[in-house]
């Protein structure tokens, strides 16, 4: 680029258009749609696996291990079958979008369902 977005004091110019220029090659509607599909399926699975873990009366480390096995297993299934092995076509930042962004949310959902069914059954 020949144009410098810097004013005469050397400070960067406030770019009003930055939100669109950063993602100029992405269709934001589709990005949000894909994220929503992923969160929906992971929400269902984490709540259900929490309930099952509670029913089986798994405690402490066994329960958390159960969650991580199911969580990462589901991510792999998702990448292989729903994204058809090309997650970068549907998610801009694959690792962050699929693994880290919703990890805490799903873990807390899992813990809630786990605690609930553990207390009800035991």
What part of residues 12-51 is at the interface with other proteins (CB under 8 A)?
Answer: 13-17, 21, 24-27, 29-31, 33-34, 37, 39-49, 51
Locate 110 and state its tokens.
């899992």
Q: Quick one: which of 91, 50, 93 has its CA closest to 71?
A: 50
- Provide the minimum distance between the beta carbon of 91 and other proteins in the complex, in angstroms, as a whole number: 7
CB within 8 Å of 51: residues ≥ 6 apart: 113, 114, 116, 117
- Provide the minimum distance between the beta carbon of 18 and other proteins in the complex, in angstroms, as a whole number: 9
Q: Which of residues 42-101 bind other proteins (CB under 8 A)?
A: 42-49, 51-61, 63-64, 70, 74, 77-78, 81-84, 89-92
Residue 78 contacts residue 99 (beta carbons within 8 Å): no
- Provide the minimum distance between the beta carbon of 68 and other proteins in the complex, in angstroms, as a whole number: 13
The footprint of other proteins on this chain (CB under 8 A) covers a number of residues equal to 77
Question: Quick one: DSSP state of residue 3?
Answer: -
């Amino acid at each position: 680029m020949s144009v410098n977005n810097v004013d005469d004091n050397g400070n960067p110019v406030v770019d009003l258009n930055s939100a669109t220029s950063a993602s100029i090659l992405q269709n934001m509607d589709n990005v949000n749609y894909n994220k929503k599909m992923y969160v929906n399926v992971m929400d269902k699975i984490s709540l259900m696996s929490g309930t099952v873990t509670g029913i089986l009366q798994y405690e402490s480390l066994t329960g958390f291990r159960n969650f991580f096995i199911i969580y990462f297993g589901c991510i792999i299934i998702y990448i292989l079958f729903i994204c058809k092995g090309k997650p970068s076509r549907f998610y801009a930042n694959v690792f962050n979008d699929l693994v880290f962004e919703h990890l805490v949310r799903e873990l807390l959902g899992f813990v809630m369902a786990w605690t609930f069914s553990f207390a009800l059954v035991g």
